[in-house]
């Protein structure tokens, strides 16, 4: 058991506990494949483009034809027209041109396109004002990707661009790693779900909502097991059942040292607990353990703490369990606009908003940063990372920010 690990150390340790699964892949259509992880490498089955194509509207010519030995201009008879999807069927005749449009197949023997802007058309002829060179405005076959070249590596996450590339290569489906089976529940006697009315001392459970929504971007199937009271027997029964048929379980609340905090003791009874007091703020109480092969993440109950620990410590591990290659979240430098008070000891993640000004990225924390305040996320677009060892940060200090654009995908 180790205490007060740095955030990076904790993540490295967590990731070392997760074996990359060797499950059989499943074949899904590309429409179903968004966010999934490729189970095997995909090699381009065809050249893209499949034929020599024109990159511009203009005239297909052969730059080696005798007419081009002289200085411009050149006057050539126009032999025909090649449109996208309707190619000119015959070979380009010597000292001739074929009218051609973007994406159209280049006629055999042609090796250059003269762009429309460098021509004047007269009936049946074209006047060309510049000498063409071999390869001008041509897209050779395989220019995007050549048949047999690697398209997608095993472990790549399939986003819109990868799916478009597979589609352009004529693929209709792809073999992906099965989704991670994730169970989620909240612990706390005070928690209720709307539309139930709140009694004194009760609050609505928001952690299941945010954790399920954050998981939606991942190749994960979430089973929402609801709210479990602060009762060790009920927590134990729920956790044991969840661990039996899920790859991972996330709980929130009850991992600290209060009288009603039972999650850690239950994990210890059912399996093994590696509890790290991580040097992170918000989110210090964070439990990780295993029951059999199931990974357990006990997140703190405070909503901001649950979100920050999920994004920085749980999400990368879920992606790894899903077969993805590990990747650090994007960090960019920004100039702090206001003072941040910070006591050395824990890496702090404040919610902030960055904007672009003439000098580059500028960032300010949003409103009150208390760890219960979901309001601190309102209009935030990043986390501001305040290093563990530093004290107060003065305005104009350079800080690293983690844009939500990178964190949430």
Count of other CB atoms within 10 angstroms of residue 263:
29
User: Which span sits near ligand AMP by CB under 6 A: 91-99, 165-173, 186-194, 271-279?
Assistant: 186-194
Is residue 157 helix, strand or coil? strand
The encoded tokens of residue 399 equal: 């800080």
The distance of closest approach from Cβ of residue 388 to ligand AMP in the complex, given in angstroms and rounded to an integer, is 22
| Residue with smaller CB distance to ligand AMP, 5 or 227 | 227
By CB under 6 A, tell whether 283 contacts ligand AMP.
Answer: no
The distance of closest approach from Cβ of residue 209 to ligand AMP in the complex, given in angstroms and rounded to an integer, is 9
| Residue with smaller CB distance to Mg ion, 8 or 268 | 268
Pick what 303 binds: ligand AMP, Mg ion, none; C-beta below 5 to 8 Å, kind-dependent. Answer: ligand AMP
- Per-residue mark of binding to ligand AMP, 291-320 (x: CB under 6 A): ---------xxxx-----------------
| Residue with smaller CB distance to ligand AMP, 121 or 374 | 374
By CB under 6 A, tell whether 202 contacts ligand AMP.
Answer: no
Strand 125-128 relative to strand 119-122, pairing: antiparallel
What angle separates helix 263-270 from helix 232-244, to the nearest 10 degrees? 50
Residue 321's alpha-carbon distances to 106, 147, 243, 305, 328, in angstroms, are 48, 32, 15, 23, 16
Cis? peptide before 122, omega within 30° of 0: no
Q: Which of 253, 300, 316, 352 binds Mg ion (CB under 5 A)?
A: 253
Q: What is the rounded CA–CA span in Å between residue 403 and residue 382?
A: 4
Pick what 247 binds: Mg ion, ligand AMP, none; C-beta below 5 to 8 Å, kind-dependent. Answer: none
Q: What is the rounded CA–CA span in Å between residue 46 and residue 63?
A: 28
By CB under 6 A, tell whether 188 contacts ligand AMP.
Answer: yes
The distance of closest approach from Cβ of residue 187 to Mg ion in the complex, given in angstroms and rounded to an integer, is 6
Count of other CB atoms within 10 angstroms of residue 124:
8
Nearest to 356 by CA among 342, 337, 383: 337
By CB under 6 A, tell whether 116 contacts ligand AMP.
Answer: no
Q: What is the rounded CA–CA span in Å between residue 328 and residue 315?
A: 11
Contacts (CB under 6 A) with ligand AMP, residues 343-372:
372
Contacts (CB under 5 A) with Mg ion, residues 160-189:
188
- Binding site residues, Mg ion, CB under 5 A: 188, 253-254, 301
Interaction site with ligand AMP (CB under 6 A): 186, 188, 190-191, 203, 205-207, 252-254, 256, 258, 300-303, 372
């Amino acid at each position: 058991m180790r205490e007060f690990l740095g955030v990076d150390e904790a993540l490295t340790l967590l990731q070392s506990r997760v074996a990359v699964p060797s499950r059989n892949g499943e074949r899904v259509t590309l429409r179903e494949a968004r966010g999934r992880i490729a189970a095997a490498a995909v090699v381009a089955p065809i050249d893209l483009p499949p034929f020599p194509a024109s990159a511009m509207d203009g005239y297909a010519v052969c730059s080696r034809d005798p007419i081009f030995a002289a200085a411009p201009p050149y006057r050539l008879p126009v032999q025909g027209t090649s449109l996208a999807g309707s190619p000119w069927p015959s070979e380009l005749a010597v000292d001739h041109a074929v009218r051609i449009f973007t994406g159209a197949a280049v006629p055999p023997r042609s090796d250059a396109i003269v762009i429309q802007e460098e021509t004047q058309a007269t009936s049946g002829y074209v006047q060309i004002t510049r000498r063409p060179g071999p390869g001008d405005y041509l897209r050779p076959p395989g220019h995007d990707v050549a048949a047999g070249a690697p398209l997608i590596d095993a472990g790549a996450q399939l986003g819109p661009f990868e799916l478009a590339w597979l589609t352009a290569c004529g693929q209709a489906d792809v073999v992906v790693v099965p989704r991670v089976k994730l169970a989620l529940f909240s612990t706390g006697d005070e928690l209720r779900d709307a539309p139930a009315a709140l009694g004194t001392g009760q609050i609505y459970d928001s952690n299941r909502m945010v954790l399920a929504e954050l998981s939606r971007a991942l190749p994960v199937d979430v089973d929402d097991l609801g709210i479990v009271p602060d009762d060790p027997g009920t927590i134990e029964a729920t956790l044991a059942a969840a661990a039996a048929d899920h790859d991972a379980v996330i709980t929130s609340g009850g991992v600290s040292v209060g009288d009603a905090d039972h999650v850690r003791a239950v994990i210890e009874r059912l399996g093994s607990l590696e509890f790290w007091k991580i040097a992170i703020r918000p989110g210090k109480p964070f439990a990780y353990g295993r029951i059999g092969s199931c990974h357990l993440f006990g997140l703190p109950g405070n909503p901001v703490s649950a979100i920050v620990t999920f994004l920085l410590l749980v999400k990368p591990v879920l992606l790894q369990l899903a077969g993805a290659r590990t990747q650090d979240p994007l960090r960019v430098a920004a100039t702090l606009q206001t003072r941040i008070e910070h006591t050395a000891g824990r890496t702090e993640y404040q919610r902030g908003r960055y904007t672009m000004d003439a000098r580059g990225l500028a960032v300010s924390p949003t409103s009150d940063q208390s760890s219960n305040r979901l309001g601190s996320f309102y209009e935030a677009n990043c986390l501001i990372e305040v290093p563990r060892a530093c004290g107060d940060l003065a305005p104009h200090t350079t800080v690293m920010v983690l844009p939500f654009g990178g964190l949430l995908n």
